[in-house]
Amino acid sequence: MVMEIDLGPRARAFRDELRGWLEANRPDYDFPPGGERSMILSGSPEVTAWAEKMHEAGYMCVGWPEEYGGRGLSAVEVAVMNEEFARADVPRVTRGMGESLVGPSIIAHGTPEQKAYFLPRIIDGTDRYCQGFSEPDAGSDLASLRTRGVVDGDEIVITGQKVWTSGATGCNTIFILCRTDPDASKHKGISYVIAPMTLPDGSPNGIELRPIRQINGASGFTETFVSGMRAPLFNVIGGLNDGWRVTMTTLGNERGGHATTQHLPFEKQFWKLVEEARRRGVVTDPLVRQKLAWSYTHTEILRYQGLRTMAELAAGKEIGPQVSLNKMFWSEYARDVGSWGLHLRGADGMIRPGVPDGSDDYDVDYWQEEFFRHRGSVIWGGTAEVQRNIAAERVLGMPKEPRLDKAPR
């Protein structure tokens, strides 16, 4: 029996609006693989056309205040939107990091002039953002970054190296952290800059992207080398040397996640497992049935966690350390079920589909992709070990774990 929560008349009315619009406007084509995920910045012509239709209907940047071009939706209503698009089996296309990270940071810390210039360009898709935060020696300890920014007249000139820049090859703008006061303390002297990745003539703006090939054959990340990248001082958000404050706003939005709808793709994945087991004639095998029960149970736990989160959002509560519990739970489950899905196929799981002999292509099927992709899910966004520490200290009230660099000698 499915438990339902009454989220109030406003959320009900919005759900009815969405269902009506999706029923009337759903395209008659199938979306490419990955279309069931909510965060899609660019893709096939079909996805691009669908994004334009959503934009025309006012379904971009819906969580932004109305005065900045959004719809002022509450967290509950955004969760309802994610859920309805997922249930309709169409992607909820967004403006990516521009919508979820840069826009909220500009709204919180930008000048009126910056808001008037940058926010409409995010909503209409003119500016497509990637994030220039992590460096080879500044990952978890982001404040130790070494990329430099030097003021030159009315511009800032940036030089340094970034890494793990997601989706950079499909973007034209980067929000980048650089140290503009090398004599300041660690968290001071950092500036948050919006920089164009190309010059007006189309040539690179002092930036070189080197794609990092992943184990599944894709190159979703890049090494990013910056040498003399220029941006107007107008593009410094929050003012020179005060970028850490803006960064905290960005990171707070990055870690919010989609806990209220996290279970939906896993529900679909569970039925893929059942279908695979039936196709191979092993659905009555006790060990297979036990694994299927394990998968179903974990999916239901994710669903109920989402319902709890949605109920707390509806009550106006802030979502705290339970986000860490959710991240730890779904990422470890995704890793493990991906491994088991591949194991279920036996030796067939080791054969890549449709790759001609001698081809450099590296195609993988669904379960191979799941196996490869989720090896990293327990690392990005905060490792499972870090999430356990957060749960232990902030939920259970246990003492902080001793750190080697602070241990008594």
* Mean pLDDT across 181-190: 91
Question: What is the DSSP code string of 155-178?
Answer: EEEEEEEE---TTGGG-SEEEEEE
Cα separation, 42 vs 327, whole angstroms: 25
pLDDT tens by residue, 297-355: 999 998 888 877 777 766 767 666 677 788 888 999 999 999 999 999 988 888 877 65
Residue 236 β-bridge partners: 193
Report the DSSP beta bridge partners of residue 158: 149, 229
Q: How many CB atoms within 10 Å of residue 206? A: 18
Tell me how far apart the alpha carbons of residues 226 and 243 are, in angstroms, rounded to a whole number. 19
Residue 198's closest CA among 225, 234, 174?
A: 174
Alpha helices for 208-261 (secondary structure H): 243-254
- Give CA–CA dist 123/129, Å, rounded: 12
Residue of 223, 254, 276, 312 with catalytic role: 254
405: pLDDT strictly greater than 70: no
**Which helix (H) or strand (E) element contains residue 273?**
helix 263-279
The answer to whether residue 254 is catalytic is: yes
The tokens describing 2, both together, are 């499915």
Estimate to the nearest angstrom the gap between the alpha carbon of 103 and the chain centroid: 15
Amino acid 230: pLDDT: 98
Highest mean pLDDT among 134-148, 249-263, 278-292: 278-292
Report the Cα–Cα distance between both ends of the chain, in Å, rounded. Answer: 58
Domains of the chain: 9-94 (1.10.540), 129-242 (2.40.110.10), 255-354+361-403 (1.20.140.10)
Tell me how many degrees the CA angle 364-369-371 measures, rounded to the nearest 5: 125
Contact 198, 240 (CB under 8 A): no
The pTM of this model reads 0.80
pLDDT of residue 2: 46
- CB-count exposure of residue 11 (10 Å: 0-12, 13-18, 19+): buried
Nearest CA among 138, 136, 7 for reference residue 77: 7
Over residues 26-40, the pLDDT tens digits come to 887 776 554 333 334
